[in-house]
Amino acid sequence: MILDLTYVFYSTLIIFCLLPLYIYREKIFSKNYKNNGGFPLFISDLKHHMSSFHPKINIDYHIVNRTANEQNIELRETMIIENVIAQFFNYPYSKKTQNDIPREKHWINYEEKSLSNPKYPSDWPLRKEFAWKRDNKCCNRCGNNLNLKDTHTCFVKDIKDGGGYNLENIITLCIDCNKILHSQNPKSTMSSLVLNEKLMALIHS
């Protein structure tokens, strides 16, 4: 019986000691998070990711100051990411005629197969590769480095509007920029971006 009372006493004592930790856990861990450079590290990682993988997109980070009064760090980081994604989506981009490939590098039937046609020319994979190399293996809109297999394309002048398959009419894009240029539903498109998934992974939960 004495053993039971002792057990109850110490158990109760432990619970009372841990109770304040439970009640104020958010403030305690939030302070520890800040002391370990959590939020500044998040901002640093965010800026590094955008400048490294999307160097053509100039991001305005004033949202960091505008959310300074938000006490919930995870919510603040989410708000910042949503703002960056919106800027990435809305960044102005106009389709312009791309640099051509020197004529000596053209192949037989290049001119003939460059004309507007509902069907892709039989040498389309070669044209796509040439355009990819011409653009330094990067997305023309955001500057993201691309593997050939991950490269998407669109046209300065759409084929249905009379554009051709000539190389100066081909634009090299990453998957996200391709989605953006063909988006019919901005909100849905932004949430489906690969960039959105990658930036959300930076949040310290």
DSSP for 21-46 reads HHHTHHHHHHHHHHHTTHHHHHHHHH
Q: Judge whether 113 lies within some domain.
A: yes
Tell me if 193 is assigned to some domain: no
pTM for the model? 0.79
Indicate which CATH number applies to the domain containing 117.
3.40.1800
What do you get for the CA distance between the two ends of the chain, in Å? 45
Of residues 162, 140, 164, the one with CA closest to residue 151: 140
Domain, as residue range, for 107: 103-181
Q: Would the pLDDT of 23 be above 80?
A: no
142-195 residue pLDDT tens: 999 999 999 999 999 999 999 999 999 999 999 999 999 999 999 999 999 999
Contacts (Cβ under 8 Å, ≥6 apart) of 204? 33, 38, 39, 42, 73, 74, 77
Is residue 204 a part of any domain in this protein? no
Residue 36, pLDDT score? 47
User: Which band of pLDDT confidence, cut at 50, 70 and 90, is reported for residue 100?
Assistant: confident
Residue 120 banded pLDDT, cuts 50, 70, 90:
very high
Measured CA to CA, the distance from residue 175 to residue 177 in angstroms comes to: 6
For residue 188, tell me if it sits in a domain. no
Residue 63 neighbours by CB distance under 10 Å: 17
Q: How many domains does the chain have?
A: 1
**CA Rg, the chain, in Å?**
27
Query: Does residue 135 fall inside a structural domain?
Result: yes
Residue 96 in 3-state DSSP? Answer: coil
121 located within any domain:
yes
Mean pLDDT of the chain: 88
Would residue 143 count as lying in a domain? yes
Lowest mean pLDDT among 22-31, 100-109, 135-144: 22-31
- Are 64 and 82 in contact, with CB atoms under 8 Å apart? no
The SS3 call for residue 12 is helix
Does any domain span residue 162?
yes
